[in-house]
Structure 1
Amino acid sequence: MELNNLYDMIVYVLEQVGAYSILKSTFSLRLLNLGIYVIEGAILLGFVSLAVLVLTYMERKVLADIQIRLGPMETGGRRFHGILQPVADGIKLFLKEDIIPKNVDRWVYVAAPIVVFVPTLLMFVAIPLNEYLVLVDMELGLLYILAISTIAPLGVMMAGWSSKNKYALISALRSAAQMITYEIPLVLAVLSVALVTGTLNIGEIVESQQGLLFGFIPKWNILLIPIGFFIFFVGSLAEIGRTPFDLLEAESEIVAGYTIEYSGMRFAFFMFAEYMHLFAASALIALLFLGGWNGPILPGVVWLLIKTFVIIYTVIWIRGTLPRVRIDQLLALGWKFLIPIGLLNIAIVGAASMVMT
């Protein structure tokens, strides 16, 4: 049986243990497919939840190391360096009182965390971990991810507007400006990848990076289109609101930004989405520019996770070292620098492709 995605892999496992034929004779095909889809969703949610737990712990420890301190040490025991701290944080947020301020626009306020969380989770539907560990192998998977990632900032704007708080509103307006400014460079960077590889299927993009240049240099897109990598990396930092572009929740200016009126699990949804977006953006950078799961000796999934966590470490490192930019500097960087060099990059890649063909 050819394995093309996670659905095929689950069917294959059920066949190997002899359960698929029994389930097929017991339930209708539609009900059986629904059950497999539920299993896929549970695997996705479990993987993403584990990734978020690891990222929260990793960020605390890396920042602590940069600042020459220990970070969390007690929860889970000093012997294990406080490894259960993310679990304690999750329990705390789950048990906290859910407070809805009196004057908020109630339905928009309640819907905002969901509008941020769900599209971010759905990005993982098209992100492969190797040749067959993907929920849906889309021909236009990269376009799908770019499209669905633009929905989450709408939830940020909903949260800022509905909170009836001036700090939250300023954060929402910054979100709108930031989204418009940095979506264009991201699309230009993706276009350069599409021009080099000739596809928008993420799996095929990774396959195109197999092999070596001149017999010893990895055939990764970061070496073929370094300008595209730089644009995509900086644009992703701005898109997910990480330092030095964390103006949506700049505590020195607008306290906590769009989350200022949220508590408990509604606040947790925002934080969960932020770390999911960080992991998704880092995985995309690894897939598009660093060869994805290509690598010697180790399994492909391991290589992809290594590359992803190297990107995540770099993002956290930037947070621990660089100061926050001003909003005018943020917009100027996008409109006056990234977009022009993005267009120039498209021209260079297009001309090179024409010459080579």
Structure 2
Amino acid sequence: REAYRPLYLLAPFLTLFPALITFAVIPFGTQISVGGQTYPLIIAPGMDVGVIFLLAVSSIGVYGILLAGWSSGNKYSLMGGLRSASQVISYELGIALAVMSVVLWTGSFDFRRIVQDQTGWGHIWFVGPQFLAFIVFTVAVFAETNRLPFDLPEGESELVAGYHTEYSGLRFAMFFMGEYANMITASAFVVLLFLGGWNLPFVNYAWFGPLWGGLLSAVVFFAKVAVLLFVFIWVRWTLPRFRYDQLISLGWKRLFPLALLNLVLISTLLVLRGRP
């Protein structure tokens, strides 16, 4: 009875749709040639600022969670929404700084260019030279996607079900579809930035022809994403939920300084190497 119905109905859509839109800028392979036509394996091939687009759109989902908590007229839902907002603020900075170190290293916001710089005999996956950024980014995306041990916004032992306490049916399912879509997006983000995208060491997809080479690159990319999704599940089975003060402290006192330190080190190294 105390729910504000327009925002109550809008919140699930505001959580799910941004998670689905981000798939448009994620390249999942090289390209395939069929009947003399070449098709890049990406939904929006002309997007050369995919990194910025993904960061911007993926951050919209928290507004859906916050609106769900506030519009439900339930104190537990409101507390879950506020926790989600503070959690995103705490970890979004670490994600942005980790991504910026990769962008500085490659000089591009284009996912394909970032993957290309991890290709060939003279290049290595960025998980090596950017290991600190990889650790910060991976931990932070766990918090961004509200997965254990960072699922404080929906802590059952404290908040009944969190921000979606008053939801049921399809609207309830939309929150979880958005959450799992964000897991896939986050895993793809890690693969593209740090794990070589669709590349494998010592493998040239041109050896397999224009069709099978492109299909094989997509299979490799999805296999890497599947491994990271397994890590999400593995961590959920292994680690207990953090306390709220531990979660905030980790974001501000550990990950943010490490990400800032890594950005300074990468910038200094690039200047010493003569990069502008």
What TM-score do the two structures reach when normalised by structure 2? 0.89
Work out the CA distance in 1 between the residues paired with 2:116 and 2:160: 45
Matched to 1:202, the amino acid is F
The equivalent residue for 1:134 is 42
The equivalent residue for 1:355 is 272
The equivalent residue for 1:310 is 227
The equivalent residue for 1:262 is 167
Work out the CA distance in 1 between the residues paired with 2:264 and 2:2: 52
The equivalent residue for 2:257 is 340
Matched to 2:225, the amino acid is T
Of residues 23, 36, 39, the one that matches 1:124 is 23
Q: CA deviation at 1:212?
A: 3.5
Work out the CA distance in 2 between the residues paired with 1:212 and 1:329: 43
Work out the CA distance in 2 between the residues paired with 1:267 and 1:128: 30
- Which stretch shifts more, 135-144 or 272-281? 135-144
5 Å-filtered alignment, 1:146-161, equals 146-161=55-70
The equivalent residue for 2:85 is 176
Q: CA deviation at 1:211?
A: 1.9
The equivalent residue for 1:110 is 9
| Count of residue pairs the alignment pairs up | 252
Dislocated runs of 4+, deviation >6 Å: none
Q: CA deviation at 1:133?
A: 1.2
Work out the CA distance in 1 between the residues paired with 2:197 and 2:148: 25
Work out the CA distance in 2 between the residues paired with 1:251 and 1:212: 50
Matched to 1:322, the amino acid is L
Matched to 2:24, the amino acid is V
Aligned partner of residue 222 in structure 1, secondary structure: coil
Work out the CA distance in 2 between the residues paired with 1:343 and 1:212: 30
Return the index of the structure with the highest Cα Rg. Answer: 1
Work out the CA distance in 1 between the residues paired with 2:56 and 2:153: 21
What TM-score do the two structures reach when normalised by structure 1? 0.69
The equivalent residue for 1:276 is 181
The equivalent residue for 1:211 is 120
Q: CA deviation at 1:353?
A: 1.2
Sequence identity of aligned pairs in percent?
43
Matched to 2:246, the amino acid is Q
The equivalent residue for 2:97 is 188
The equivalent residue for 1:68 is none
Of residues 294, 306, 313, the one that matches 2:199 is 294
Matched to 2:13, the amino acid is I
Work out the CA distance in 2 between the residues paired with 1:231 and 1:107: 38
Work out the CA distance in 2 between the residues paired with 1:153 and 1:197: 29
Matched to 1:353, the amino acid is L
Q: Structure 1 regions of 5+ residues with no counterpart? A: 1-101
Q: CA RMSD in A?
A: 1.2
Matched to 2:172, the amino acid is F
Work out the CA distance in 2 between the residues paired with 1:280 and 1:353: 29
Q: CA deviation at 1:117?
A: 0.8
Q: Deviations over 1:209-268 (max 9, x none)?
A: 00235xxxx610001100010111011000000011000111111111011111110011
Q: CA deviation at 1:355?
A: 1.9
Of residues 96, 100, 107, the one that matches 1:198 is 107
Q: CA deviation at 1:103?
A: 2.3
